[in-house]
Amino acid sequence: MSTADLVQVGGLHFARGSHAVLDGVSLRVPRGSIVSVMGASGGGKTTLLNLVAGRLRPDSGQILVDGLDPSGIARQDLYRLRQRMGMLFQHSALFTDLTVFENVAFPLRRHFRLPEPLLRKLVLMKLEAVGLRGAADLTPAELSGGMARRVALARAVVMDPHLILYDEPFTGLDPISIGIIATLVRRLNDALGASSIVVSHDVHETFAIADYGYILAGGKIIAEGTPEELRASDSPLAQQFLSGRPDGPVPFHYPATEDFAAAMGIPMETREAPRP
């Protein structure tokens, strides 16, 4: 593994039953960078994050995070490695019975025994960084969707992680909240000197903050490069994804065993002749 890379994935295979979710995926995350993994829903992006975090084990291939294989180390070592990771979950995953302050404090209370004044300063610093110090005593039920995502982001970075994993950070947010989250992802990554993997299908927002990106489809990497290089990709499937075209290599119609006219019982002699 290159010392310039915090994460390196090589020849990764993972299947659920007979379905190959990831089929020979290779990528790298240079230290200090934001790397995006984009693709259609259900394409294996979240599975890749879970493999990097050690929540799943690959069928074959290798994952190295700061030189360690999450699937090949002892449980105690995996827990220590995870202390250097932060994760923003797709739907924020805040504890509904805890205040904003206690949600952000949770990782610190779980892993350390800090004096309460120090813990309070650390939590308020992170809430200040996401613009929500004044919301410390609110409950998740009192937050908008964008505010909840910002609280979850404060919790993800409260332990100053080396690696931050983002699972669809922009999903379900209004344009203003999307802009705030995108700005915070970039600012916090740079301020912490961290590296980030952003899993998303939101092209515009992701390209605005990513240093490098991969497009995942059919369990394989079909394109990679800087945002400019991805926009110029010669992959028809990548271009369909980036442009949002409804038909192309991924067809609009799901394959059927008979044509539409036959399924509707239209007599053969009344069917319109195919156009030249």
* 70/266: higher pLDDT: 70
Residue 195 structure tokens: 């590296």
CA 111 from chain centre, in angstroms, equals 24
State the angle between helix axes of 145-157 and 116-129 in degrees (0 to 180), rounded to the nearest 10: 130
Residue 136 structure tokens: 């410390």
Q: Is the dihedral of CA 2, 214, 90, 128 positive or negative?
A: positive
Find all residues with CB under 8 Å of 236, minimum gap 6, and list them: 248, 249
The strand ranges marked E within 119-239 are 163-167, 195-200, 212-217, 220-225
- Residue 1 in contact with residue 65, Cβ under 8 Å? no
Helix, strand, coil content of the chain in percent (nearest 5)? 40, 25, 40
* Topology, domain 5-84+161-270: Rossmann fold (3.40.50)
- Residue-wise pLDDT for 165-224, tens only, equals 999 999 888 999 999 999 999 999 999 999 999 999 888 899 999 999 999 988 899 999
Residue 103 structure tokens: 């949600």
Q: What is the mean pLDDT of residues 67-87?
A: 91
Write the DSSP symbol of residue 93. -
Residue 127 has pLDDT above 80, yes or no: yes
Side chain identity, residue 44: G
Residue 39 structure tokens: 């693709």
- Residue 2 in contact with residue 10, Cβ under 8 Å? no
CA gap 151, 20 in Å, rounded: 35
CA gap 263, 253 in Å, rounded: 14
Side chain identity, residue 14: F
Q: How confident is the model at residue 39 (pLDDT cuts 50, 70, 90)?
A: confident
Partners of 9 in the β-ladder: 27, 63
What is the dihedral angle through the alpha carbons of 175, 178, 184, 190, rounded to the nearest 10 degrees?
A: -110
Residue 1 has pLDDT above 60, yes or no: no
- Residue-wise pLDDT for 153-167, tens only, equals 999 999 999 999 999
- Residue-wise pLDDT for 221-248, tens only, equals 999 999 999 999 888 888 888 877 776 6
Find all residues with CB under 8 Å of 141, minimum gap 6, and list them: 96
| Ramachandran sector of residue 12 (left: φ over 0; alpha: ψ -120 to 50; beta: rest) | beta
Cα–Cα distances (Å) from 209 to 89, 147, 178, 206, in that order, read 18, 20, 12, 6
| Report field, pTM of the whole predicted structure over 0.85 | yes
